[in-house]
A and B are shown apart, each in its own frame.
Chain A
Amino acid sequence: DQQVKQNSPSLSVQEGRISILNCDYTNSMFDYFLWYKKYPAEGPTFLISISSIKDKNEDGRFTVFLNKSAKHLSLHIVPSQPGDSAVYFCAASAVWSGSRLTFGEGTQLTVNP
């Protein structure tokens, strides 16, 4: 049972345009959501997070939106840069799971110059 889903395995955008990465979850007990970026042969890098008490969190070029009723979150990157090309993982956390994160399968973002 995959509780966090990223249905798009890949996304390609032009430099300067907006990248929108999507994530859906099934467990309503999740109350904290995170996005990680991963380059090949490196560890994931924390990007941005959002608590379930908010519907938006912004950090520079990165904005995460949370729609609790739809159990959906998205990561917007504006403007996209070639250096943003990486795999992006969505993850979720709940008090009942202790410190465990549940990851999605990831989306490969390619930003073309």
Chain B
Amino acid sequence: DTEVTQTPKHLVMGMTNKKSLKCEQHMGHRAMYWYKQKAKKPPELMFVYSYEKLSINESVPSRFSPECPNSSLLNLHLHALQPEDSALYLCASSLYRGESSYNEQFFGPGTRLTVL
């Protein structure tokens, strides 16, 4: 299994809603990532989990809350988002750089989030 899956595919939420994005991989990767991508821009790193521990938080606002329940799952909890948070949210996974120099990140299809 060389796939990263993400649910839901699309999400529309109001600024007072609470929702969660989910990501799953079964490649045995111990590094998992959340990215945000705006149109015609590169993916922007938000969080990195290494061995289920948060290792990088790129100064993301607290209205985004990541969670890594186990080595295969990654969640992103959303609360009180703003319209400018509308974007494609991508999950990725890879071998941990400390394990291998060849740490290709494999991306999921993304969740298209619209905040009204």
B94 at the interface (CB under 8 A from A): yes
Q: Is A21 an interface residue (CB 8 A)?
A: no
- Asked if A89 lies at the interface with its beta carbon under 8 angstroms from chain B, I say yes
Q: A41-B110, A106-B40 are in contact. Are A51 and B101 (CB under 8 A)?
A: yes
Q: Are A46 and B104 in contact (CB under 8 A)?
A: yes
The answer to whether B97 touches A95 (Cβ under 8 A) is yes
Task: Check B55 against A98 for contact (C-beta < 8 Å).
Answer: yes
Complex Cα distance, B45 from A103, in Å, reads 10
A43-B110 CB under 8 A given contacts A49-B102, A98-B48, A100-B48: yes
Q: Are A46 and B42 in contact (CB under 8 A)?
A: no
Count, chain B residues at interface, CB 8 A: 31
B49: nearest residue on chain A (CB-CB)? A99
Give, as a whole number of angstroms, the nearest-CB distance from B45 to chain A.
Answer: 6
* Chain A, range 26-79, C-beta contacts under 8 Å to B: 31-32, 34, 36, 41-46, 49, 51
User: Which chain A residues border B112 with CB–CB below 8 Å?
Assistant: 41
Chain B residues within 8 Å of A93, by CB: 97, 103
B64 at the interface (CB under 8 A from A): no
Interface residues on A, range: 20 to 34
The answer, among A42, A49, A98, for a CB contact under 8 Å with B104, is A49
Cα A34 to Cα B104 in complex, Å, equals 7
Given that A99-B97, A100-B56, A103-B43 are contacting pairs, would A43 and B103 also be in contact in the complex, using a CB cutoff of 8 Å? no
CA of A97 to CA of B56, assembled, Å: 10
A87 to B109 Cα, complex, angstroms: 15
A105 CB to closest chain B CB, in angstroms? 6
Most buried by A among B43, B92, B102, B110: B43
- Chain A residues with CB below 8 A from B48, complex form: 98-100
- Residue contact A32 to B102, C-beta cutoff 8 Å: yes
* B residues adjacent to A (C-beta < 8 A): 4, 6, 31, 33, 40-43, 45, 48, 50, 55-56, 88, 90, 92, 94, 96-98, 101-110, 112
Name A's B-contacting residues (CB within 8 A). Answer: 31-32, 34, 36, 41-46, 49, 51, 87, 89, 93, 95, 97-101, 103-106, 108
